[in-house]
Structure 1
Amino acid sequence: MRQQYLLLVLGISVIPILVTQAVRAEVELEETKNSHRVSALQRDRTPKLAQAIIQVTSVQVYSTNTGVEVVLETPAGSLSVPTTQTVDNTLIAEIPNALLTLPDANEFQATNPIEGITEVTVRNIAPNRIQVTITGLAAPPIAEISTAEQALILSTTASELDGTIAEEPIEIVVTATRTEEELQNVPRSVTVIERDQIQEKARFSRDLADILTRLVPGATQPTGRPSNFTLRGRDASIVIDGIPQNTNNNRTFTAPLASIDPEAIERIEIIRGPNAIYGAQATGGLINIITRRPTEDRLTSTVELGTTAAAGGGNSFLVGDSFGYNLQYSISGTEGAVDWLGSLSSTWTGGFFDAQGDRVGNNFGLDDTNTFDGLVKLGVNLDEQQRLQLTFNHYNLSQDSDFISDESIADIPGIQTARLRRLAPGTTVIGSDAGYFFTTTNTTLSYSHENLLGSRVQSQLFYRLFKNGGGIPYDERPFGGTIISNSRGKTEQWGGRVQIETPFNSERTASLLWGVDYIREDISQNFEIFDPEELDASGGLIYRKVDEALFMPPYTLDDLGIFAQLQWQIGDRLTLNSGARYVNLTINTEDYTTFDDGRDVEGGTLNTDDVVFNAGAVYNFTDELSVFASFAQGFSLPDVGRILRRPPEGFTSLEADLDITSPQKVDNYELGIRGVWNSLQVSLAGFYNYSSLGLDLVPLPGLQGGAYRIVRAPQRVYGVEATIDWQADQNWRLGGSASWQEGENDEDENGEFLALNSTVIAPLKLTTYVEHETLPGWRNRLQLLYSGNRSRAFEDDVEGAAIESYVTVDYFSSISLFGGELLIGVQNLFNADYFPVFSQYFAPIYDPLNYKGQGRTISASYRITF
């Protein structure tokens, strides 16, 4: 493992050197032509030769017609152009090869030198390095930097200082609706997660599902494992740069979210509630993941190194098995009409320990895993109107653990806490992977034209390959089975999208978005069979693969969608939109024989189609306050693969016995209010959705063979969600969210609705946070997650026990240090001893799934951009 990291570090270290050598000659020539005045966002690209230390003996702050000027004076020589960054409302400039030597003070400070600027400080932060911080009242000031003989000048612009920002509302533009649209004009509940929030949560978990459950109202609570992720009690559609990550055969599993590392993500937009904007499976919402974008006009590299370890009770404090490590490197730039980005991320996650210091008994957790993610983007601006972009992302997760679930506790009377057992020394898997794995490869070619015959055209071709499998083979013989096996699955998806946005007038107050989507899925899953005689002869140590068998017949799914969406802005206050999508679905499979009972099933082709509609309105009382109402339909197919691999009794023909003529269609009604001020953002929404042919999967007692039964019955889900964020002043930020939902179905169709289980319908979830910039460049944050009680499903005899509440608190700190940022975090700060909702639900069904949550965990990392 250490050798792998060493090779990775050496390889990454060479990349910026090679790229820098290639562009250095051109950069040096270009810089000699430029004046000394450069943008505050640029970096010094001159070769890092040994330089004399320049002393700064005087600091002056002047009010000007355009704002404020900070002048650093030297007795001789010129200061180097500083590197800059912004942290909240503060612009930070760091000047290398410089020393502050004021005659009567160790640092310079000016308080409220002009309206809109609260503080200016100049100080030494390291040997031969000066830091200048300029803090704005409402936003970080934007400055231009000029160098001259014996002086360096930071000139701020008046537009950022005259109070304009403090008075104007924040404008947030979202693209999850397939077009760029201001949040205030979207008649739906939308959550936008920016890159800094993603990075903050990724300090503890690289699992995107875990990150989203902590940030998104209406999402299920964190589970600590790849398990069902729902929004508002239903499935979510996941797209990455337009590529769908859902497949028909992984609806009950979060493989769509195990497709990308947080380091590769720029932004995530979540539309909560059913919709068919991108096609099927969005009966609960849409998660639109946007990968990182190249920087403009400069060559930029970012490196981050970090570690994580358990720090809970018992013997788990900084225990060696709990240590994890991560390394991220990215480089991007622009050269003329070409821009590019490369990003690599490698993470080793150690063992998980609970609050008592015991290993978390999660039999399918993300502990002891290696992940690797590589992202490459190459874009070309063909002219001012046209752009071509190629995106490639490869993600791999694999487990390397000495522990497996202790299945024997299922035989102990009463409810037991899940535990792991160490594999016997010498345990070997031959011919297959000893640890489970996921691999996802996304490739996208996109073309856009901003004005083709008056319309904006966007098109895309994509290919996705997903594979999963591995793990210590499962011996079914003690449980009445006959084989020792594992499963291995593969899904290939390819397709394309074309969408055209046509305005109806020059003001673009009315427009039509129309186009077509096509996706083809090729899905297969096999059993790997292992030799029982060799396993017995070796004392349970040697698992040798001897055969493969058809676990699920290969099948294809073709999804064709034709859509049109009208948007009309009436005056300054009212926005209306409405649209429809025609869907045509085709399933095909060959004749096959079932593995379990050797039944011959006749293949064939099935086809179904439908139309879904949406309509919405937004009324702006003021520029900041609006109300919205919407009706939207979403749809999804049942997991066809799950039906085909273990078909019900009497199932002998795909065409005669599989009914997909009625996919699950969900009608959703939503009403909400939203306020977006510069220092305060609030939202409140209520929703109700109904499906006359809902879909629920219920595990068989004891998870017999991992089997579930499918329930198709009338189903309804309703709830309330609220969010608030308040920037109290330049140092304090606080806020939170609340989401409550309930769901039920009528399995017997007798008018008596019973509660849906708690892995689908999340209990009451409250989050809150408080953040403080204690010193310029030092930010601290506390956040709390409360998961409430839920007894409704227990009272309806749907669950074996009521769900109990729990509370966790996390702490984060970031410190500007040596031109970079030191990141420190403590998850589960008070070492709460609790069971996640997922494990509480399974506790009465199957003890090995009744695992605890992680105890206190600490992390530290250092990130620098140059």
Structure 2
Amino acid sequence: MVEVRAVQLNLTPDGIEIILEMVDGKVPQVFTSSYDQTFLADITDTVLHLPEGSEFHSDNPVEGITSVTVKSVDSNHVQLTVKGAVEVPTVEVKPSERGLIFSVILPSKTAVVPPDTPLEQESEIPPVIEPQIDAEPTDEGNKDDIEQVIIGTPEIFPQTSTPVYVIPQEEIQKQGANSAAEVLRGLPGFAINDVGFGADIHTGTYYRGHSINQSVFLLNGRTIGTNISTYHGATDLNSIPVDAIERVELSSGTSSTLYGSEAFGGVVNIITKQGQEVPQLNGLVEYGSFDQSNYRVSYGGSSGNFNFHLGYEEYEASNRYRIPVGAANRDSEGRLFNGDTATSNYFGSVTLELNSRNTLSLDAYKISSRRGLLYFGFPLQRDRLNHDALNVGLSWKTELGSSDNSILRTTLSYNQDYFNTYGPTQQIFYRTGTLNSEAITARVEHQWSTSANNQLTWGFDWQNSSLNGEVLSTNPQLINLNETENRERTQIALFALDTWRISKTLQAELGLRQNFNSEFDSYLNPSIGVRWNVNRTLAMRGSWASVQRNPGLDQLYVFDTVHNWLPNPDLEPETGSSWTAGVDIEFSENLIGQLTYFGSHLDNRLGIRNGKWENIGLVNTHGLEVALRWNITPEFSTFFNYTYTDAQIETGLDKGLQLGLIPYSVGQLGIGYSSAGWEVNLLASYYSGSRRALFNNPGEINTDFSPSWLNLDLSGRIPITRNLGLMVYLENLADVSYEKANRIYQPGLTFRIGLQSNF
């Protein structure tokens, strides 16, 4: 397997030169073709390992060429696309000691004047970092010929004041993830209890000690979170279609200025797939333990200035596995009861390039999820949860002025989440609760490079959200709480984030977000960040952000008939601040690390007290986050993530205790091999145990912790043909059942096996 480590664009007198730098100068086989105005080069037995990101892209690198793209098609196939403005470019391919050189010759064969703005991988706004200019003459006999070298990925780390973690499509495939929750499990800082077998949304998803409602979740840069805050009404990561995901980006700090003041934890942006130059059909059929079945199909392509990507995904599992005495929802046969799940998802996107400076995009997904609830399984919990969601977003991107240093994005979106829980109360009474949440959101964002050393991102958000809540119980003691509630809320925010490069090594960020809320008036949340590049291999960074999260409409107004929790219209917002400090280190060309201290001060935290939502007090969180990546050889790579979280309750009866369901330590160690379509990946996961805060068995107290556990998973891909592979996953190699969180158990050794294709 040949590894591409960097992409360079060199402007030449005849056009442009594209260099794919390869390890040890190895040269793979190249197959060329063309269609419309596009030249294609398919490079086999090759993997793309750029220092940052999973794709190189450059728009309008020179007159006559509209775009150059280098990306991974699958685990052993890299594709170069050169799109001409009026006709197929003429391209000569030749090997060199550095790798492969693609010389693009323009029809006029006239000298090319280098553009004013250097190109950067996936960078629509010229970065404040100076471009790398190679002033070495290209010919010893002609000292006047200066070659401008445009580096596709000049930076190992994002030039930000907080760490930015990215999981690309290739890593998602290696994980064998069946949900967005499983994808996020591989990121530093996350402790995800409700994932995999026995996944139950009550056990929670936490980032740096904060619940899923205290982070912001985006789809292609727009909010997808609901205005519901009860456990079963939060963002349902187990239902988001994983086959639609191109990559996942995780950020924090000053990102809260741009995307929401409620980001105590962080901002998760899920980027979906777009159509590719060559039409491609992808499919997956997979079966596994406990009646697992997984079907995926997607098709994407382009025609002229139009591209598209459409897909469907379906997953089912009965989850009827044996669990020990004391586990939640253990039936008379000693098996998990009511743990079945079924999801089906439709997703798609279309993009139309109106002209060289205007692009229109539309994407949508439709989710249908049916599952049982487990967490309160004493006696057997029989409640069911139906979740239906629809999200549609329309975006218009335009380049203002005569250059690409000013970009305006306008987005309009609609989001609906329908949650319905229902079931008998100990087979005596019947109860049902419905939360139907809708939101219409508009966003205008302007990214403006005001100078070579300054970039300003500013704009406004507007959202109108509504909630229809219906409560019905046949319990005589609760009939008086049966009701229908219709509530709505309007939120407007003005935001501005300025990034100023003070010197060649020092960068500062200053953000302001002014919020106007129809229920909680107006409030200002500032943020600051700083980054100091000590040298080429070491950088220090830090950030601070003021945050506020308002109570959900359900917490304020709707009785929770499943948990018997009363609403409280007098709730106050959660307020406080979060901060980070850390270093980015390039130990060697193939080994990089990020070390981050994080903390937060959260006052008026929302929780349940005596069966009613209340502001229960203060929580201080401190922690440490470690992320290491090492590309040992072109075939072998490894990573290590570790997070320590001390989330301590400072007031009330639980003063001095760790927040429930949040472990002190989580860690992951993975090692992978990839060559010629063969893949083997070994993943070790560690969880230190978490406090059992609610619904304890007789003899247990709320200071007890669940036991720690260590899990090993093995996955692999066996190529059958160039376009067809056999996928194998073995989970829990030790074959030992363990308590994942608060009496929810993982079964012993399980398997999944399937066929994956792309044509």
**AA paired with 2:407?**
R
Residue 615 of structure 1 is matched in structure 2 by: 528
Listed as ranges, the matches of 1:351-430 within 5 Å are 351-354=319-322, 361=329, 367-399=339-371, 409-410=378-379
Distance 1:341 1:746, change over 3 A: same
Distance 1:373 1:160, change over 3 A: farther
**AA paired with 1:246?**
G
Distance 1:667 1:529, change over 3 A: closer
**AA paired with 1:392?**
A
Of 684, 694, 697, the residue aligned with 1:784 is 684
Of 658, 673, 696, the residue aligned with 2:570 is 658
C-alpha displacement of 1:736: 1.0
**C-alpha distance in structure 2 between counterparts of 1:487 and 1:763, whole Å:** 34
Listed as ranges, the matches of 1:324-339 within 5 Å are 324-339=292-307
Listed as ranges, the matches of 1:813-852 within 5 Å are 813-819=716-722, 820-837=724-741, 839=742, 850-852=743-745
C-alpha displacement of 1:85: 5.0
Of 416, 441, 455, the residue aligned with 1:465 is 416
Q: Which whole-Å deviations, capped at 9, do the CAs of 1:132-168 have from their partners, x for residues lacking one? A: xxxxxxx9887899xxxxxxx99664385289xxxxx
C-alpha displacement of 1:777: 2.4
Distance 1:754 1:658, change over 3 A: same
Residue 514 of structure 1 is matched in structure 2 by: 458
Q: Which whole-Å deviations, capped at 9, do the CAs of 1:617-673 have from their partners, x for residues lacking one? A: 1111233431111111222012342242359xxxx999xx6254xx22221221101
Q: Which whole-Å deviations, capped at 9, do the CAs of 1:773-831 have from their partners, x for residues lacking one? A: 4x63222111111111567999xx98241332111110011122212222111111112
Q: Which moved more, 1:716-725 or 1:627-636?
A: 627-636
Distance 1:362 1:728, change over 3 A: farther
Distance 1:644 1:791, change over 3 A: closer
Residue 753 of structure 2 is matched in structure 1 by: 860
Listed as ranges, the matches of 1:162-561 within 5 Å are 183-203=157-177, 206-222=178-194, 224-227=199-202, 228-234=204-210, 235-250=214-229, 252-253=231-232, 254-272=234-252, 275-296=256-277, 298-309=278-289, 322-354=290-322, 361=329, 367-399=339-371, 409-410=378-379, 435-452=384-401, 455-471=406-422, 473-475=423-425, 483-505=429-451, 507=452, 509-529=453-473, 550-551=482-483, 553-561=485-493
Distance 1:366 1:784, change over 3 A: farther
Distance 1:551 1:362, change over 3 A: farther
1:808 aligns with 2:711: yes
**C-alpha distance in structure 2 between counterparts of 1:365 and 1:671, whole Å:** 45
1:682 aligns with 2:593: yes
Listed as ranges, the matches of 1:677-756 within 5 Å are 678-691=589-602, 693-698=603-608, 707=611, 709-748=613-652, 753-756=655-658
**C-alpha distance in structure 1 between counterparts of 2:328 and 2:710, whole Å:** 18
Specify the SS of the correspondent of 1:230: strand
C-alpha displacement of 1:353: 2.0
**C-alpha distance in structure 2 between counterparts of 1:143 and 1:172, whole Å:** 14
Structure 1, unmatched stretches of 5+, are: 1-38, 42-65, 73-80, 91-138, 146-152, 164-170, 310-321, 411-418, 422-433, 533-546, 588-606, 701-706, 840-849
Residue 30 of structure 1 is matched in structure 2 by: none
Is the 1:221–1:787 contact (alpha carbons within 8 Å) kept by the matching residues of 2?
Answer: no
1:88 aligns with 2:67: no
Specify the SS of the correspondent of 1:502: strand
Distance 1:711 1:804, change over 3 A: farther
C-alpha displacement of 1:470: 4.3
**C-alpha distance in structure 2 between counterparts of 1:464 and 1:719, whole Å:** 34
**C-alpha distance in structure 1 between counterparts of 2:508 and 2:678, whole Å:** 45
Is the 2:472–2:482 contact (alpha carbons within 8 Å) kept by the matching residues of 1?
Answer: no
C-alpha displacement of 1:233: 1.5
Is the 1:627–1:672 contact (alpha carbons within 8 Å) kept by the matching residues of 2?
Answer: yes
**C-alpha distance in structure 1 between counterparts of 2:531 and 2:660, whole Å:** 33
Q: Which whole-Å deviations, capped at 9, do the CAs of 1:20-78 have from their partners, x for residues lacking one? A: xxxxxxxxxxxxxxxxxxx999xxxxxxxxxxxxxxxxxxxxxxxx9858699xxxxxx
Percent identity between the aligned chains?
A: 16
Residue 632 of structure 1 is matched in structure 2 by: 545
**AA paired with 2:645?**
Q
Return the structure number with greater helix share. Answer: 1
**C-alpha distance in structure 2 between counterparts of 1:499 and 1:233, whole Å:** 30
Specify the SS of the correspondent of 1:832: coil
Specify the SS of the correspondent of 1:88: strand
Distance 1:568 1:293, change over 3 A: same
Residue 563 of structure 1 is matched in structure 2 by: 495
Specify the SS of the correspondent of 1:695: strand
**AA paired with 2:663?**
A
Distance 1:694 1:193, change over 3 A: farther
Is the 2:683–2:714 contact (alpha carbons within 8 Å) kept by the matching residues of 1?
Answer: yes
**C-alpha distance in structure 1 between counterparts of 2:318 and 2:501, whole Å:** 53
**AA paired with 2:47?**
D
Specify the SS of the correspondent of 1:263: helix
**AA paired with 1:239?**
L
C-alpha displacement of 1:420: 7.7
How many residues are paired up? Answer: 625
Specify the SS of the correspondent of 2:286: strand
Is the 1:141–1:157 contact (alpha carbons within 8 Å) kept by the matching residues of 2?
Answer: no
Give the TM-score taking structure 2 as reference length: 0.73
Report the structure number with the largest CA radius of gyration: 1
**AA paired with 1:786?**
Y
Specify the SS of the correspondent of 2:172: helix
C-alpha displacement of 1:614: 0.8
**AA paired with 1:781?**
N
1:645 aligns with 2:558: yes
Residue 769 of structure 1 is matched in structure 2 by: 670
Is the 1:259–1:439 contact (alpha carbons within 8 Å) kept by the matching residues of 2?
Answer: no
Specify the SS of the correspondent of 1:634: strand
C-alpha displacement of 1:207: 3.3
**C-alpha distance in structure 1 between counterparts of 2:374 and 2:475, whole Å:** 21
**C-alpha distance in structure 1 between counterparts of 2:500 and 2:370, whole Å:** 49
**C-alpha distance in structure 2 between counterparts of 1:71 and 1:299, whole Å:** 19
Q: Which moved more, 1:576-585 or 1:235-244?
A: 235-244
Distance 1:517 1:763, change over 3 A: same
C-alpha displacement of 1:742: 0.6
Distance 1:500 1:856, change over 3 A: same
**C-alpha distance in structure 1 between counterparts of 2:729 and 2:401, whole Å:** 50
Structure 2, unmatched stretches of 5+, are: 1-17, 32-39, 50-75, 83-90, 102-119, 130-152, 561-565, 695-699
Specify the SS of the correspondent of 1:516: strand
**C-alpha distance in structure 2 between counterparts of 1:464 and 1:864, whole Å:** 32
Residue 660 of structure 2 is matched in structure 1 by: 758
Residue 10 of structure 2 is matched in structure 1 by: none
C-alpha displacement of 1:271: 1.7
**C-alpha distance in structure 2 between counterparts of 1:645 and 1:470, whole Å:** 14
Listed as ranges, the matches of 1:568-583 within 5 Å are 568-583=500-515
Residue 4 of structure 1 is matched in structure 2 by: none
Is the 1:142–1:157 contact (alpha carbons within 8 Å) kept by the matching residues of 2?
Answer: no
**AA paired with 2:418?**
K
Give the TM-score taking structure 1 as reference length: 0.65
Listed as ranges, the matches of 1:580-619 within 5 Å are 580-587=512-519, 607-619=520-532
**AA paired with 1:194?**
P
C-alpha displacement of 1:518: 0.7
Distance 1:349 1:160, change over 3 A: farther
